[in-house]
Amino acid sequence: MALLLKTTKFIESQIDAFLDIVSDSATLFHLAMEDYLKDRIGQFEERLSQIRENEQKADDLRVGIERFLYERTLIPENRGDVLAILENTDEVIDNIKDSILQFSIEMPQIPEELDDLWMQTTRASVNAVDQLTFAVRSFFRDLPAVNNYIHKVYFFEREADQIGEKLRRHIFSLDIELSRKSQLRFFAIHIEKISDYAQAVCDRLAIYAIKRQL
C-alpha cells in the first residue's frame, strides 16, 4: 500500500507539472497577442521562444509519465485513460505553438479597429484552456468537480465562436483587399480553434470521468 501511495503521489506531481506548462503556455499566448497588436515584435518573438520551450518540456514530461505508467503502475486498469488525457491535452500546447509560429512567419497586418474583438476572442480561447487544466486536475483529485469545469470549457468555447464570428464579419466589412481579408480570417480562425481543441479534450474527459464513477 505504501508503494502504491508513493507511485500515485509521484504521478500526480508529474501531471501537475505538465498541466502547469499547459496553463503557462495559454497565458503566454495571450501576452503574445497583446505584444503583437501593440507592435512589440521583439517581445512577441520571446513569447514564441518560451512557448517552444514549454512544448518540449511538456513532451518530455508526457513521455516520462507514460513510461512510468507502463513500467511501474500497480493498478493498470485506468492507465489507458490517463495516457489518452495526457496526449490529447498535449495537442493543445502544440496548437498554441503552431498558431503563434504562423503569426511569426506571415506577420499579418491587423487593423487597429479589430484589436478589441481580436483580444476578446483570444481571452475566450485562453479561458477555455485554463478551465481544461482545472478539469484534468479534478479528474485525479476531485472527480465530482470535473463536470463543473468541463461546463466552463464549453461556455468559453461557445464564447470564442460567437466573438470570433463577429470578428470575421468585421474583417469582411473592411475596405481592404480580399486577399488580406482572407489572411486575417485564417488567423482569426486559428485563435478560435484553440478553444475547440480544449473542448475536444473535455468531450473525452467526460467519458473517462463517467467510467471512473461506475
Q: How far is CA 155 from CA 1, 107, 158, in A?
A: 40, 30, 5
pLDDT band at 2 (very low <50, low <70, confident <90, very high): very low
Enter the pTM of the model: 0.91
pLDDT score of 101: 97
pLDDT of residue 75: 53
The phi-psi region of residue 177 (left if phi > 0; otherwise alpha if psi is between -120 and 50; otherwise beta) is beta
Buried/exposed code over 97-134 (b: 16+ C-beta within 10 A; e: otherwise): bebbeebeeeeeebeeebeebbbbbbbbbbbbbbbbbb
Which residues make Cβ contacts (< 8 Å) with residue 86, sequence separation at least 6? 15, 18, 62, 65, 66
Percent of the chain with pLDDT over 90: 78
The string of pLDDT tens digits covering residues 121-174 is 999 999 999 999 999 999 888 888 999 999 999 999 999 999 999 999 999 999
Q: Which domains does the chain have, with CATH numbers?
A: 2-213 (1.20.58.220)
pLDDT at 66: 85
The pLDDT tens digits for 69-86 are 777 664 556 677 888 889
How open is the CA angle 116-119-123, to the nearest 5 degrees? 135
pLDDT at 77: 60
Residue with cell 482569426: 188
